[in-house]
Chain A
């Protein structure tokens, strides 16, 4: 229990928020809007888990928003050209993985700082999209929305799928050797190398996985609406990093769980609709989200200081 205190503290704050909403704005808990909210956050959750793993290996990826857009637009264009969903999804994952591979090669093999590399790819990919699409929406064929299911079936499937993915990632990080390597490399790359782990390969693999997850997330978003806006996903990197940090992933690497990320994302995602339900001016929203992130970082700082003193 003590080991997961950081994750449980986020769950506690979330529970407090929900309890307050139940008291002051019970309309928040209507099934259909709530299911919509969760389905709309499912893609962000998948991306946030990927970002969390990148942070665990002591790197950062701020290009995920642009990767997300590129995957969404290409998937949209293929679907519009008549490709079946069964072919579009693997292509989206492949494109995401390739974009991750580019970041990974630059970071792991050339040893460039990931913040600079992914800043460059963030801007470059976004500009490419602007150039090609001029902001024009991609119209999707009817059969794509909700994967051909009914709306509520589709939404349940997306929410279930995202949570299932979190469970698989959580299990893999905990029980697979490859999962443990992430923590080893993030804690101390040199020690990991001496222990026979190849830090570069682990870093590269993490970036590729990040990209593939972004591809999956893009598809989870594309199937929720009949149009793709090329700007989609802009700002997603900040949301994902915030969810990871609030969820207890140490920005200095080597620590964190994807379950924590789930709690962090839910907390941040509930703020906006909660403000609408509590009739609070939207001006406060970013301030409150900022305070939550600040609190998370401070807790992290205190924890490190305590460990240091020990």
Chain B
């Protein structure tokens, strides 16, 4: 296998991610609007390549408490994906979904609601990816973690760490009454990167 670094493939892969971001966020917005029964708008997703040293500048810094949902993907593409929102944004979404049943703390019911919301959002991105590439992508059961941003992001960062010192992510914003800043991070393994580019007719 040839040498792949995030830098060397970035221009092609950027465009792919941007497109996945657009379609995925569109799908997610529709799905969320249905689930939460409210009008939701979406902003232009941004693809960002962050040096490990810059990860702290994302949102409120390394110690900002966030909710991260992480799942493995299998099928034609192997790897993992993560969806990340600030804790207060997570609580807002949960309140919307559960209505009066919510307490203000993150209990079992709140966690399970958040997993469900994340499933819908990650599913929207994955189906965008899958239909663009014609590759099958099967997500695992999600796991949820509420902790410092740095600690949660260390998990995908370590996966990217095997390729270089940067991390690729899609930042998308959707709005209902508040702005919902969400981060979507997909880490296919090296073999899968090639498959994705190849499926899109790009030279590897």
Note whether A and B form a binding pair: no
Residues of B participating in the A interface, judged by any CB pair closer than 8 Å: none
